[in-house]
Amino acid sequence: MSCEKMEGRILGYLDGRLNESERLDAEKHLAACAACRLRVNEFRAVSGLLDELSVIEPSPEFDVRVHARVAAEPVKESWWAWLRISPRVAFAASMLLLAAIWMGYYQQPQQVQLPWNNPVEADAQMMQDLPVLEDHDVLSNFEPLKDLPGKADDDSDNVPQQQQPM
Amino acid sequence: MVRTDVQLMLDVKAGDEASFELLLQRYRTPLVNFLFRMVRNREQAEDLAQEVFLRVYRAREEYVPSAKFTTWLFRIATNLALNSMRDTRYQKLEVSIDAPVTVNAEDGDERPLDVAEKHPNIEQHLVGDVRVKMIRHAINKLPEKQRAAVLLHKYQELDYTEIAKILSCSESALKSRLFRAYEALRVELAPLVAHQARH
């Protein structure tokens, strides 16, 4: 291993984060290289010096201020939050809405769909009835049919009086 | 059984305020210390730490445990610290990189060190808190991202992957950055290092 490569592994070596083969390579190099060995020792010394810095404690007001700032945060309400706030009001509103829908449905005037309500449909119906009307005209003007005896009840005036057998 | 950070955060998401309190107690000291070592001002560090917790609370409903909680937490903290350090509002509170180290900076009582303290010999290193001030000064001299990398590596004991995510860089770039930072500290603290290395 070169000294340059060793430089890149010094911290990993000191932190114990090299894998087994890397660690063995590093130790082999350090055994043979006094300069790198010195540097490793000095890095270790730096790390030891950094341990000497004291730890400060947050001031007594720190937690109070955090709590105050958190408490001052606006509460995020979801869309359904109002249901949680007042379930009775929500229930009453729902019932009112259902009643309005029900009344609107059953009190609507029932419209009968007649063909003549729609002019287009009425015309179409008349066109379908034309053959019947034509047949009626033919039959009503057919002379031989006029000689036929009519019904007794309603055609009596048109039927000639017959002699009753003695 | 101790609940994990992720479990606590999911409980916060579900509306459990007590879990947020547990997270606050668990991370208030590490966060304040990290931010104090970043911005070098205690009051500002506490303000930023409060902001970190507030952002965590605000984001609770969108929280998805896709990464370690500490990665998320310290990423927020690091970004806030870096932005704050660049913010002109705090410039007058900052100690210049070239300015002398101050005494009781942790308490906001800033006083320049005298010349004897600034260039102490080995014997002086061993007495008083001058030694600590030198260490703090050496950290303060690091570029911002190198400083953040060292603080996260040394004091939060996060692994390389986590720190790389926090600093939005590759793992190899992080290792390079960390090496340069420790090398700078080694040079800056040479008198102390030489003494330390001999023992």
Q: Per-residue pLDDT for A134 more than 80?
A: no
Q: How many CA atoms lie within 13 A of A147 on its CB side?
A: 2
Q: In CATH, what number is assigned to the domain containing residue B15?
A: 1.10.1740.10
Which positions ≥6 away from B5 have C-beta within 8 Å?
B23, B26, B68, B69, B70
Number of domains in chain A: 1
pLDDT (tens digit per residue) in B119-161: 555 555 555 578 888 999 999 999 999 999 999 999 998 999 9
Q: pTM (2 decimals)?
A: 0.66
Question: Would you give the DSSP letter of residue B56?
Answer: H
**Which token pair is B144?**
């911002």
ipTM of the complex: 0.77
pLDDT (tens digit per residue) in A64-102: 999 999 998 887 665 666 556 567 777 888 899 999 988
**Position of tokens 């102390």?**
B192
Number of domains in chain B: 1
The predicted pLDDT at position B114 comes to 45
**Residue B156 domain-assigned (yes or no):** no
Chain B contact for A33 (CB, 8 A cutoff): no
Give me the domain span that covers residue B80: 1-94
Q: What is the torsional sign of CA B10, B14, B16, B17?
A: positive
**Residue B167 domain-assigned (yes or no):** no
B interface with A, Cβ–Cβ below 8 Å: 20, 24, 28-29, 32-33, 36-37, 42, 46, 49-50, 53-54, 57-58, 61, 106, 131-132, 135-136, 139, 150, 153-155, 159-160, 175-176, 178-179, 182, 185-186, 189, 192-194, 196-197
**Residue B84 domain-assigned (yes or no):** yes
Average pLDDT for residues B39-54, to the nearest whole number? Answer: 94
Give me the domain span that covers residue A24: 3-50
Cα distance between residue A82 and residue A90, in whole Å? 8
pLDDT (tens digit per residue) in A11-68: 999 999 999 999 999 999 999 999 999 999 999 999 999 998 889 999 999 999 999 9
Q: Per-residue pLDDT for B54 more than 60?
A: yes
**Residue A11 domain-assigned (yes or no):** yes
**Position of tokens 């039927």?**
A159
pLDDT (tens digit per residue) in B84-104: 988 755 455 555 444 444 444
